[in-house]
Structure 1
Amino acid sequence: MRHFKSFVIAVAVTMGLAAPALAQLRVTVVGEEYVPMRIAVPDFDASGNGAEEIARQLSDVLRNDLASSAVFELVDKAAFIERDLSFDMAPRYPDWQVAGVAAQALVVGNVVINPANNNMTVQFRLYNVFGQSQQFARQYTVVTPLNWRRLAHRVADDIFSQLTGDGGYFDSRVVFVSKTPGEDMVRGRLAIMDQDGANAEFLLSGFTSVINPRFSPTDQRILYGAYVPDPKYPGATLLRTYLYDIENGRQEVLAEGPNSMDYSARFSPDGRSIALSRAVGGNSDIYVIELARRTQRRLTNDAAIDTSPSFSPDGKMLVFVSDRGLGPQLYIMREDGAQMNCPKGGRDTTCRITFDSGRFTDPVWSPRGDWIAFSRQGDGKFSIGVIRTDGSGMRILTDGYQDESPTWSPNGRVIAFERTASRGAGPKLWSIDLTGRNLRRMATPRDATNPTWGPLLKVDAAQQ
C-alpha cells in the first residue's frame, strides 16, 4: 500500500480583482432541497513543463466533482463563447449571461510549475456572473505536481463551501470491503479509495474475512471486524474487532471479554472513545470504551438484543437498534445513561423513535446532527431512509432490491450505501443526496460492501 507523507500547502486567499461589497452568490435551498446552480468551469491555463496536461486533468476532476453533487449543473464547454480567458483579467460577463450559457458562477484558474524547484501553484477565481464580481480567490502551492488530484478536490471543496455555505466533501476517502464476485459471503478484503473512486487499493494483507469498517471522524484510523482462527478450538473462527491506523499501519485488537463477542463498533465524534455491541450468553448490550485507558461502561442492560450504536455529533446521545419492541426498531439514549424526556412522551433511559412495520438496521447519525440514516427492511426489499432525531419526518430515499449500510459524507449532504440490484447480483456502492435525488454508482474495482466515509483530509497530508 501507499504511505502518506506530509507536505505543505501554502495558501494565499487574497489575490487581485477584489470583489466589491455585494451580496454573495449562494445556491438556493428550498426546504431540504437544492435548486441546482449553473456553473461554468473552463480548462485552467498552464505554464511550465508538464503543466498543460496537469491543468487539463485537474480541470476534468474539478468538473466531475461539482457535477457529481446535486448542487450544480455544469455548463457544457461547447456552449462557451469567451474562450480567451485570462486569469489576470475579469471575464466578459455578457458572454456568460447569454441564453445557451446562462452561467450563474464561473471558475477561472491556472497551473504554474516552477522550473527552479518543480513546485506547483494552482490559482483560481470564483466569479458571480450576474453580479459581475469576483466572489472568492485562492492559491495553493505544493512541492510536487504529483499532488494535482488532491488540489483538484481542494478547489472543488472551496467552491462548494463558497456557494452553499456547507463544508465540502470531495477531498475525502471511503473505506469498504472489496469482494471477488462469486466468493463466500464472509470473505472480503479491506480497501480504500478516494471518494470519486480513484486510487483504490487494499489496506491489509492476511485478512480475508473483514466486515463493518468504520472511519474515525477526526483522523485516519478505522475500526473493523475480522473472522480469525479461534485459538481455543482448531478449525473454528471467532469475530474480533480491530483498531487500525491507515497512516502508520499500526493495528491492535480491542478489549475482549471472556466468553463474549464485540461487534458493530463506532467512534465517538472526538475519536477518543468507541461504542460497540457486546454479546454475552446470547444477549447483546451497548458498551462504551475509552481508548486511551481502555475503561468500559455498560449503557444498556436489557433482555433484548441492543446493537449498532452511533453517536450524535456532539457526543451526548446515541442511536441504536433494539428488538425490545417486538422487532428491530431505532432507539435513542443519552451517552451517560441518564433518564431523558422521550419525543413521544414520558421519561426513560432509552426512547423509541420508530414505530413502523419494517425492520430497521444500520443507524448512523448525520455529522450535522439533524438526521439519522438507516436501512429498512419491509415489503420484500431493503431501502435507505432518513429520520429526524425526534422520530419525525421519516423519508425513504432509495427503492432497490437490497440497499443497506448507509454512511454520511463529511458534510452530511450525501449518503453512500451498498446495493445488491437483484437476486444473484454482486453488491456495488452507490450514493444519493439527502434530498433523495442524484442517485449515482460509486466506481470500485470489484464488488463492494460496507462503505464508511472518512473525514476531509488534512491540508498538510497528501498521497504520494
Structure 2
Amino acid sequence: MFRIFLKNFILFFTLSIISYNISANGALSIDITQESFKPIKIALMPIENDNAEIDKDMKAIYKTVKSDLRQAGYFRLINQDAFIRGEKFGRLPLFEAWRQIDVDAIIQIRLDEDDKNVKKLTTYIWDVKTGQQIEAQAIKAKSILNRRFAHIIADIILTTLTDEDAFFDTKIAFITESDHKRPSKNLAIMDQDGQNFSQLTDVGKDDLVLSPAFSPNPSTIAFYGKFEDTEEVFIFDYNTGLYNSLYSFNGDMTLAPTFSKDGSKIAMSKQFENDFNLVEINLKNNRFKRLTHNKNLIDISPSYNHDGSKLVFSSDRNSQGQQLYVMDLTSKKVKRISFKGGNYSAPTWSPDGKTIAFVKAKKNVFYLGTIRPDGTKEKILTSGWFLDSPSWAPNSQRIVYFKTRYDKKGRFVSRLYKIHSSGQFERLVRTVDNASNPNWSGLLE
C-alpha cells in the first residue's frame, strides 16, 4: 500500500441536496451546425441579499455561472447596464421591454440561508418570446461550495434552454507537469472549467504517473504508475488518500486502464514478452482474464461501450498500421471499423454508446474525430501538431483532450481543450502548467 501526499485536498463528493425540483424543459430551437446560428441572448440577474455574507456568496456564484455559460458557446449574456429596471424576483417580468432589446430569456437567481445554516438557491427562467416561465427550481444544501452551486445552476440553465444535457458539475483528472526545475508528472484534478485545481500526487523525478481513468463513482481513479522498480495500474481512493496496486503482474507493464460503465470491471493493455494484449479484471472477485492472444503485436487503449458488452481498441494487427477494432466480449469476435487512411489510436466510447472518439495521425498531422461503432459517419472535429487522449463528458456531447506544440521560445507546451461533438465550441481549459492525459468524470453526486 502506498500513501500519496495530498496538496490542498478538498472532499468535494459530500453534497447534500435536500430538494431538487424539476419542471418541464423548454429548450429553444437552435442548430449550432448552421451558418445562421445565433447565440441565445440572455439576461442573467443575480438578486441582492441584505445579508452581506450571503450577498458575497451570490456574487461568487454569479461569476462562475456566467463563466460556464460563456464557455458553453450557446449564449450571449447582455451587460447588466442594459437590464430593465424595476423587476422583482419571482414576479412576471416586463416582457415587452425585454423584447425591445432582443433578449431571448431572463434568468433570476437568489441565494438565501435559514437559521440552521441551510442554503437555498432559487432559479427562475422565463422565455421572453412566449412570455412564459419555463423553469423554476429551488436547491437546498447543508454544506456546499459556491462553485458547486454555480455549476448545478449552469446545468439547469443549459438543459432548460438547449437540447444539451448537463456537464458543468463535473471534474477532470489529468497529468500535470508541475515543476519545470525538477520535471515530474503528477496526478491532478480540477473542475471542468479549469478552476479548483488540486495536485493529488507528489512523485519523484524518476517516477511517473499517466493515464488516469475515473470509475463511475468519481471518488475512485485508476492510473498507470511507475515507482522505483514497479510499473503497474493503481487505484486511488479519495476517502483515504491511498492508492493500491490493482493486480500484481510480476513487473510486466500494464497501460491505459478503463472502467466498464457499471464500475465492475477494468480493461487494460498488458505486456506479454514482445507484445501487448488486452486483459480484463473483474473487481468483484479480482479475477484476471486475457482478451486477446496476439504475437509481436500491440493491442492498446480499450474502452467499453455503455452496457459493457463490447470493447473498442487500437491495434496494429494488419499491414496498414494502427486501426480501430470492436470486440464482442461474449463471442470474442473482432471487427475493424476504421478505413479512411492514417493511424488510428486512443478510441473512447461515448457514455450513451452511440459514438466513438479517436485520434488519427496522417501526413504529420494529428486529428480528433468521431465515428459510429459500425464504422460509418467518420467525422474530423479538429487537428493539431500533436493531440491525444480524448475523453467524453457524461452527456456524450463534449470531449476533452490535449494538444502539444512548441511556443515562440522553443519550449514544449501541452494544454487541455474541450470541444462539442459537432466540432463547434473548441475551448482552452486554462492550467498553470503543462497538462495532458485528461479524463472526464460523471456528474458529481
Q: TM-score with structure 1 length normalisation? A: 0.86
Q: Deviations over 1:19-67 (max 9, x none)?
A: 9xxx934342477998643222122332424122221221121111111
* Equivalent in the alignment of 2:298: 305
SS at match of 2:439: strand
Q: Distance in 1 between matches of 2:179 and 2:412?
A: 9
Q: Distance in 2 between matches of 1:437 and 1:425?
A: 27
- How far the C-alpha of 1:354 sits from its partner, in A, is 0.6
SS at match of 2:383: coil
- How far the C-alpha of 1:182 sits from its partner, in A, is 4.7
Q: Deviations over 1:300-329 (max 9, x none)?
A: 122321111000112111100000122101
1:273 partnered with 2:270: no
Q: Distance in 2 between matches of 1:394 and 1:450?
A: 23
Letter in 1 for 2:145: N
Q: Distance in 2 between matches of 1:12 and 1:408?
A: 26
* Equivalent in the alignment of 2:336: 352
* Equivalent in the alignment of 1:135: 134
Identity %: 29
Q: Distance in 2 between matches of 1:392 and 1:228?
A: 42
* Equivalent in the alignment of 1:50: 53
Q: Distance in 1 between matches of 2:423 and 2:223?
A: 29
* Equivalent in the alignment of 1:381: 365
SS at match of 2:69: helix
1:161 partnered with 2:159: yes
Letter in 2 for 1:449: S
- How far the C-alpha of 1:226 sits from its partner, in A, is 1.0
- How far the C-alpha of 1:134 sits from its partner, in A, is 0.6
- How far the C-alpha of 1:91 sits from its partner, in A, is 0.8
- How far the C-alpha of 1:128 sits from its partner, in A, is 1.3
Note if contact 2:265-2:280 (Cα within 8 Å) is conserved in structure 1. yes
Instruction: State how many pairs are aligned.
Output: 429
Q: Distance in 2 between matches of 1:137 and 1:103?
A: 19
* Equivalent in the alignment of 1:225: 224
SS at match of 1:51: helix
Note if contact 2:232-2:251 (Cα within 8 Å) is conserved in structure 1. no
Q: Which moved more, 1:71-80 or 1:318-327?
A: 71-80
Q: 1:76 to 1:49 in 2, by over 3 A?
A: closer
* Equivalent in the alignment of 2:65: 62
Note if contact 2:27-2:159 (Cα within 8 Å) is conserved in structure 1. no
Note if contact 1:32-1:435 (Cα within 8 Å) is conserved in structure 2. no
Letter in 1 for 2:326: I
SS at match of 1:46: coil
Mapping of residues 141-156 of structure 1, within 5 Å: 141-144=140-143, 147-156=145-154
* Equivalent in the alignment of 2:108: 108
Note if contact 2:27-2:163 (Cα within 8 Å) is conserved in structure 1. no
Note if contact 1:62-1:152 (Cα within 8 Å) is conserved in structure 2. yes
SS at match of 1:45: coil
1:316 partnered with 2:309: yes
* Equivalent in the alignment of 2:168: 170
* Equivalent in the alignment of 1:96: 98
Q: RMSD of the alignment, in Å?
A: 2.3
Q: Distance in 1 between matches of 2:111 and 2:12?
A: 24
* Equivalent in the alignment of 2:234: 242
Task: Give the unaligned 5+ runs of structure 1.
Answer: 231-237, 339-348, 459-464
Pick from 187, 202, 206: which aligns with 1:205?
A: 202
* Equivalent in the alignment of 1:194: 191
* Equivalent in the alignment of 2:3: none
SS at match of 1:95: helix
